[in-house]
A and B are shown apart, each in its own frame.
Chain A
Amino acid sequence: MPKLPAPPIPAPLKTPPPRPGHGGPDGPLEEAKNAGISVVGWVDERTSLSGAARWMMFRKVPKGTNWFYTLGSATMFAFLNQAVTGVFLAMYYRPDPSGGAYESIRHVTNEVFLGQFVRGMHKWGSTVMVVLVFLHMGRTFFFGAYKYPRELNWVIGVVLLILTMAMSFTGYLLPFDQRAYWATQVGVNINGTGPLLGPYLSDFLYGGAEFNATTLSRFYAIHMLLLPGLIAALIGAHLYLVAKLGTTAPPWRKAHKRPELRETEV
C-alpha cells in the first residue's frame, strides 16, 4: 500500500520516535493489559497473594489422576450453586407460618420471571449436592485417600456431610406445604428419640414444646445464616488440607522408583 504523506504537524506536537530498547507506542490493547497487570501488581505487592494462588493452583498431582478426582470440586460447585440461587430466593421468601411462606413460594414459582427456574435449580441442586457428597466420599474411601496423613480431612468431610444433611432438613420445611410440614414433624420427632438429650433437641428445633410461630423462622435462620457460614468455613479448611497434603495416586498405580534410587540389598 502506498503511504500517505505525513500531515504538516509542528515539531513539538509530533510523537517522538521510540527510544532505543522500547518497542513503539502502546496500542489500546497493550494499555489495557498493562493496566490490569499494574492493578494485580499493586495488590500483590501489598498482600503477596500471588504466592498463595500459585501454591493453591499449580500443584503437582500424581500420575493416574482421573475424572473421579473432580467429584470434590463438583460438590463445591453444587454448594456455590445453592449459595447463589439461595441468596436470590431469599429476596422473595417470607418465613410467615400463617400462609405467607407458602404464598411467597407460590409467587416465586408462578409469577416471578425465571422464578420457577431458579427455585428449581435450588431444589434439584440440593439433591445433586447430596448425591455428589456421597460419590466424593465413596471415591475417597475406595481409593484409600482417607489414610495417614489425611485423616483430619476425612473428619472435616464427615462434618460437612452432616451439615449438608442439616441443610437439606432445614430447607425441606421452607416451602411450607403439607409435605414440608409433616416431614418436619417426623424429622423433629426422630431427633426426639435420642435418649436424655433428644427431647431437648426437639424443643430447640421447634423453639418450644410444639410446632409454633417461630419454628419456621428458626429453620430459615439456621438454613440461610448459620449452616452456610459453617459449610463455607469448613470447605476452606478442607481445601487447605488438600493443597497442603496433596492428592493420592489411585490404588492401582504401583510406586516405581528410578533404578539409581532403588536401595540394594547388601
Chain B
Amino acid sequence: MADRRDKHKSKYTLDRGMPGAFEGETVTRRRFMTATAHGAGAAAAGAFALPALGFAIGPIFKSTPHRWEVVGTVNQFPDNNYVPVTITLVPDIGEAGKSTAYIRKFNPEIDTDPYDKGTPYIAISSRCAHVGCPVRWVDASERFICPCHGGVYDLLGRRVGGPPVRPLDRFYTRVRGEDVELGPRFSVNSQLRRFSPRLPGETVDGIGQYLYPSTPGAKKL
C-alpha cells in the first residue's frame, strides 16, 4: 500500500505508469490542460481589465504643456502691495478652471532671498497650502488669510500662523513688450527654495520633498 502511494506521489509521469509517459516528464495532461485553461482565462480577463485600468489612471501620467497668460501691463502692479488678478488654470470649463493670483513688482528691499533674483514680478497663488481653500490678501494687516481653517501668511507668502505646511505657491512671470505674463506654478519651501508644484498639504521641507513626490502630470520645473 505504501509502495503504491509513493508511486502516485512521484512527480514523474513514468513512475506513475501513465500511458505515453516520457523519461523525465513531470507535467501530466490534466495539469497541462488546467494550466492552459486558467492561463487563457487570465489572458481574456486581462485583455479587458488592463486597458480599462490604464484608461482610468492614464491621466495621472499626462502632462499638459506650459501656458503663459497675459495678466496685465507692466505699470499696473506696485512693488509694495498686491493686485489680485483672475487667471485661468484649466481652459474651457468656465468658473471651475479659474483661480486668483496676487501680483506685485519685484522689490529688492523685500525680496532679499537669492532664489527670487531676476524675477520681474512676484505672483502668489491664492491656493492655501493647507488643503486648498482660496486665501485673500488683507491689506490692513499685510497678511494672506485663509477663511477655512485660519492659515495666515506674510507679505512673501510664508506661513506665520495656522495649519499650512509650507508657504503659498507662486507662478513664474515674464514681461513681453508691455505685458506681464504668468507661467507655470511652482511650490517653495520655508526658505523659499523652488520645487516642482505640489498639492496643498504636502510639505517640501526636509524629508517632505521625498514623501510627497511631484506627480508625473504636474508641470515640472
Which A residues are closer than 8 A to B by beta carbons? Answer: 97-99, 176, 181-182, 185-186, 188-190, 192-193, 195-196, 198-200, 202-204, 206-214, 216
Complex CA distance for A185 and B148, rounded to whole angstroms: 12
The CA-CA distance from A200 to B64 in the complex, in Å, is 16
Q: Mark B167-207, 1 if CB is under 8 A from A, else 0.
A: 00000000000000000000000000000011111100000
Contact A189 to B93, CB < 8 A, known contacts A195-B212, A203-B215, A208-B64: no
Inter-subunit contact B219/A209 (CB<8 Å): yes
* Binary contact track B104-148/A, C-beta < 8 Å → 1, others 0: 000000000000000000000000000111100000000000001
Q: Which of A186, A188, A195, A207 contacts B211 (CB 8 A)?
A: A195
* Cβ A210 vs Cβ B201 within 8 A: no
A213, closest chain B residue (CB): B93
CA–CA, A98 to B93, complex, Å?
A: 4
Which single residue of chain B is at the shortest CB-CB distance from A187?
A: B131
CA distance A195 to B165 in the complex (A): 14
Task: Let me know if A192 and B90 touch, CB within 8 A.
Answer: no
In the complex, whether B11 has a CB less than 8 A from a CB of chain A is: no
Question: Contacting B201 at CB < 8 Å: which of A97, A189, A207?
Answer: A189
| Docked pose: A193 CA to B134 CA in angstroms | 18
Most buried by A among B197, B200, B201: B201
21 contacts between A and B (CB under 8 A): A185-B131, A185-B132, A188-B199, A189-B132, A189-B199, A198-B202, A198-B212, A199-B198, A199-B212, A199-B214, A202-B215, A204-B60, A208-B60, A208-B64, A209-B64, A211-B89, A212-B90, A212-B93, A213-B92, A214-B59, A216-B96
Closest 5 pairs (CB-CB, A-B): A209-B217, A98-B94, A193-B201, A192-B199, A195-B211
**B202: which of A193, A210, A212 is its contact (CB, 8 Å)?**
A193
Given contacts A97-B93, A212-B90, contact A192 B202 (CB under 8 A): yes
- Tell me which residues across on chain A come within 8 A of B217, comparing CB atoms: 203, 208-209
Residue pair B133, A182 in contact (C-beta under 8 Å):
yes
B218 interfacial by beta-carbon distance below 8 Å: yes
Q: Check if A192 sits within 8 Å of B201, measured CB to CB.
A: yes
Task: Please state if A186 and B133 are interface contacts (CB–CB under 8 Å).
Answer: yes
Chain B residues near A196: list those with CB within 8 A: 211-213
1/0 contact trace for B55-81 toward A, CB 8 Å?
011011011100000000000000000
For B62, the chain A residues whose CB sits under 8 A away are 208
By the criterion CB–CB under 8 Å, are B202 and A199 in contact?
yes
With a cutoff of 8 Å between Cβ atoms, the chain A residues found around residue B131 in the complex are: 185-186, 189-190
Task: Judge if B150 is at the interface, Cβ distance under 8 Å.
Answer: no
Contact A213/B211 with A182-B133, A204-B60, A208-B62 known, Cβ cut-off 8 Å: no
* Nearest CB in chain B: distance from A141 CB, A: 31
Which chain A residue lies CB-closest to B127?
A: A185
Contacts of B199 in A (CB 8 A): 188-189, 192, 199, 202
Closest residue of A by beta carbon distance from B91: A213
Our pick among A176, A202, A210 for the contact of B90 (Cβ within 8 Å) is A210
